């Protein structure tokens, strides 16, 4: 009995120290949404349980190795134990109740993350290789960055233009896959303001191709009054941007083109757009073409028709634009000199 008491005390101490150690490490970033509260509550109980189970296994093992090790000169066999029915019943029933408890807690946490507010603000999210774009239908504009008002639920309606992506802001905790051909939804209620020059970031959490690592955009949480002021400003700018060049730029941003094509000459997975219009390009078959309206139009509608040398392994998705939209995009490309 003495050994059981000592081992029991050591198990409790080891469990407490393990939990405190894991908690001190800071395994998770700050919780910054209402949905994060229930997730962190569940996570905390899981860490407590894991800490106890870790101590329950490791402490008796180490204690037995130290206290009950074979003494020098002892050649006798250890006591043979056939089994312990009560112990076997206990370690079957207790884990069963633990699993059932966590099933209930998990269901409760999931329900909390999906609790809907009928007054939620809608943001349409478009994911492409390898960029995000955010449309605010209530205000009539699109943005490369995701701005959200504090303490107001936001309904994200998300779709992918190409492959499976996954929307993930670690501080919000929740994550949602975005599947081509489907509209998936995610609800977020930000509760923490982002610090100046230290925004959150939305990342793609699903391996989606060559530049998956760079598929991230800024997330800024502000007071509702500041958000409305920003949205109104963007609304005004969008209304004023009625030139073909401005409309073309909006199309480029909304469709994630800048995730593959730089506008400053830097190398990405596709040819840079800096000075793209009117220059000569060598194709993969050795031919030389001039990047005029006809070539650019064909490259957008049928990307594999004429591939620039050095980019044979890059697969550009097919886009469907109207003739007017193509004219606007080309007008924008002409400005990139």
State pLDDT tens for residues 123-159. Answer: 999 998 888 989 999 888 888 889 999 999 999 999 9
Residue 106 to residue 38: CA distance in whole angstroms: 9
- The residues with which 148 forms a beta bridge, in sequence order, are 221
Residues contacting 63, CB < 8 A, separation 6+: 3, 6, 7, 10
What pLDDT score was predicted for residue 208?
87
Single pTM value for the model: 0.68
Locus of tokens 């029915």? 85
Q: What is the DSSP letter of 209?
A: S
Question: Quick one: what percent of the chain has pLDDT higher than 90?
Answer: 42
Pinpoint the alpha helices (H) of 79-145: 85-113
Q: What is the DSSP letter of 159?
A: E
**CA 89 from centre of chain:** 43
Residue 99 to residue 315: CA distance in whole angstroms: 46
Q: Which residues of the chain have pLDDT under 50?
A: none
- The residues with which 308 forms a beta bridge, in sequence order, are 283
State pLDDT tens for residues 205-215. Answer: 999 888 888 89
Residue 95 to residue 52: CA distance in whole angstroms: 13
Do β-strands 141-143 and 131-136 pair in parallel, antiparallel, or remain unpaired?
A: antiparallel
- The residues with which 176 forms a beta bridge, in sequence order, are 167
């Amino acid at each position: 009995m003495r050994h059981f008491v000592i081992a029991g005390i050591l198990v409790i101490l080891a469990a407490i120290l393990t939990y405190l150690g894991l908690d001190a490490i800071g395994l998770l970033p700050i919780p910054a949404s209402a949905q994060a509260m229930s997730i962190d509550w569940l996570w905390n109980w899981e860490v407590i349980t894991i800490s106890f189970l870790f101590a329950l296994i490791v402490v008796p093992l180490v204690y037995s190795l130290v206290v009950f090790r074979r003494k020098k000169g002892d050649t006798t066999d250890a006591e043979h134990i056939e089994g312990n029915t009560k112990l076997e019943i206990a370690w079957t029933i207790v884990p069963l109740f633990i699993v059932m408890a966590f099933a209930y807690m998990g269901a409760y946490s999931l329900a909390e993350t999906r609790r809907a507010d009928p007054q939620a603000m809608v943001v349409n999210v478009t994911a492409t290789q390898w960029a995000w774009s955010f449309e605010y239908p209530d205000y009539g504009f699109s943005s490369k960055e995701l701005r959200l008002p504090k303490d107001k639920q936001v309904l994200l309606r998300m779709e992918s233009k190409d492959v499976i992506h996954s929307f993930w802001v670690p501080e919000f905790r929740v994550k949602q896959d975005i599947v081509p051909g489907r509209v998936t939804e995610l609800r977020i209620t930000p509760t923490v303001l982002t610090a100046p020059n230290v925004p959150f970031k939305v990342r793609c959490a699903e391996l989606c191709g060559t530049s998956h690592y760079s598929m991230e955009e800024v997330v800024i949480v502000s007071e509702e009054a500041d958000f409305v002021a920003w949205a109104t400003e963007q609304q005004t700018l969008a209304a004023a941007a009625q030139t073909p060049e401005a409309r073309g730029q909006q199309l480029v941003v909304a469709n994630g083109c800048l995730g593959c094509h730089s506008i400053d000459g830097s190398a990405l997975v596709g040819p840079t757009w800096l000075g793209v219009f009117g220059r000569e390009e060598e194709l993969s078959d050795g031919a030389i073409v001039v990047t005029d309206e006809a070539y650019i139009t064909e490259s957008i509608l049928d990307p594999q028709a004429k591939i620039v040398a050095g980019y044979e392994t890059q697969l550009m998705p097919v886009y469907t634009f109207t003739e007017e939209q193509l004219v606007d995009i080309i007008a924008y490309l002409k400005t990139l000199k």
